[in-house]
Amino acid sequence: MMRGFPTKKVYGQSKLSTCPFCSRSATQKTETGLEVCHRHTNEQLQEIKCTCGRWLEQRAGKYGPYFNCLNCGNLNFGKAMEIKALTSGMAERKRPIP
């Protein structure tokens, strides 16, 4: 079976962003440049540690929010959220079960 090329973007069609807190469509931006829904305009993301152990600094750029690590360099938003999920999962495993 032969597949064709993906459909071409049409004028007026744009990227749909989702809120990182609740996965609704993002309609507004926070002070840090993060696209969120109207319910989370005053929220801020928790601090995220990189895989090297340093803290990631959130920045806003031409193509949206990203994170910067002094050792590793720039990380896109999606990759930083994956790191956050992995590190929070590891922290839960390290806690002793009562």
Four-CA torsion 70, 75, 77, 79, nearest 10 degrees: -120
Give the mean model confidence (pLDDT) for residues 53-65.
Answer: 86
Q: What is the DSSP letter of 39?
A: G
Residue 67: strand pairing partners: 58, 75
Q: What is the DSSP letter of 40?
A: G
Q: Nearest CA to 35 among 55, 12, 58, 56? A: 58
Domain ranges, ordered by start, for the chain: 16-44, 46-94
Give the mean model confidence (pLDDT) for residues 68-88.
Answer: 88
Q: What is the pTM of this model?
A: 0.66
Q: List CB contacts of 71: < 8 A, sequence separation 6 or more.
A: 50, 52, 54
3-46 pLDDT, tens per residue? 667 777 677 666 778 888 888 888 888 887 888 898 988 888 88
